[in-house]
Amino acid sequence: MARFSSEFIDQETIERYDAAGFGRSVGIGSRPALLIIDVQYRTTGTSPKPFDEAIQEFTTSVGDVAWDAVGQISKLLEVFRAKDWPVLYPHVAPKKEFDEGALGAKVPSIMNIDAKGYDFIEEIAPQEGDILLPKKHPSAFFGTPLASYLIQTGADSLIVTGCSTSGCVRSTVVDAFSYNYRVAVPSDAAYDRSKVIHDVNLFDLDQKYADVHTTDEIIEQLQGIEWNR
């Protein structure tokens, strides 16, 4: 039975996935790493605002749901800091004219963000020892040394948070799954500009590529893990 449910997922869909044997839990491994993807002011805005107001500041902002997620990410980050487990920040670096490519053509507004938009959210900003991973594409694995860093740290599983659920979070989860990492996605620590899209993607990820739980449920699992780096 699906762990993640939503008003947008009908019973027939759930039954079809159950009948096909999808959605089994794989659990978190013994050496988890935390990924905080694209949690920058360009996706949250500089303060919590409804979506229609938030996009007046940054067109790529998701609005106040992003700040709800930041609060949950902060709770996860506290656990990882206390245990001295690896924390990685895949993020979009400021775009240059030669970076336009397919993404710039598809979403032109992403090419016109002022410098403040690329800053990390102060409440969960990187600290010394964290790994920063500038990226140019949705997946945190594509064109970055993420896989190399994970091998170096010895991580065997990933907790993937950030923005957007349907874009960079999803593509990173699928690639992590393809590399045989166990993956967990906190449903309330990822965010998107549409609840429908957010929920449908979480359901699909939970069925095929990851375990989707709430942040509190994942923290409960993490507390039972002992990993001395």
Inside any domain, residue 202: yes
pTM over 0.75: yes
Dump pLDDT digits (tens) for 191-207. 999 999 999 999 999 99
How far apart CA 28 and CA 184 sit, in angstroms, is 7
For helices 170-178 and 195-208, give the axis angle rounded to 10 degrees: 10
Quick one: how far is CA 76 from the chain centroid?
12
Residue of 114, 128, 111 whose CA lies nearest to 46: 114
Q: What CATH number did the domain enclosing 209 receive? A: 3.40.50.850
Overall residue count recorded for the chain in this entry: 229
Inside any domain, residue 173: yes
Q: In total, how many domains does the chain have? A: 1
> Please, are residues 187 and 212 in contact by the beta-carbon 8 Å criterion?
yes
Dump pLDDT digits (tens) for 24-68. 999 999 999 999 999 999 999 999 999 999 999 999 999 999 999
Inside any domain, residue 229: no
Inside any domain, residue 13: no
> Please, are residues 208 and 178 in contact by the beta-carbon 8 Å criterion?
no
How far apart CA 226 and CA 45 sit, in angstroms, is 37
The residues that are catalytic are: 168
How crowded is residue 7: how many other Cβ atoms within 10 Å of its Cβ?
8
Residue 36's domain comprises 29-223
Question: Which tokens go with 38?
Answer: 């694209």
Residue of 172, 167, 162, 60 whose CA lies nearest to 121: 162
Q: How much is the pLDDT for 201?
A: 97
Dump pLDDT digits (tens) for 122-173. 999 999 999 999 998 999 999 999 999 999 999 999 999 999 999 999 999 9
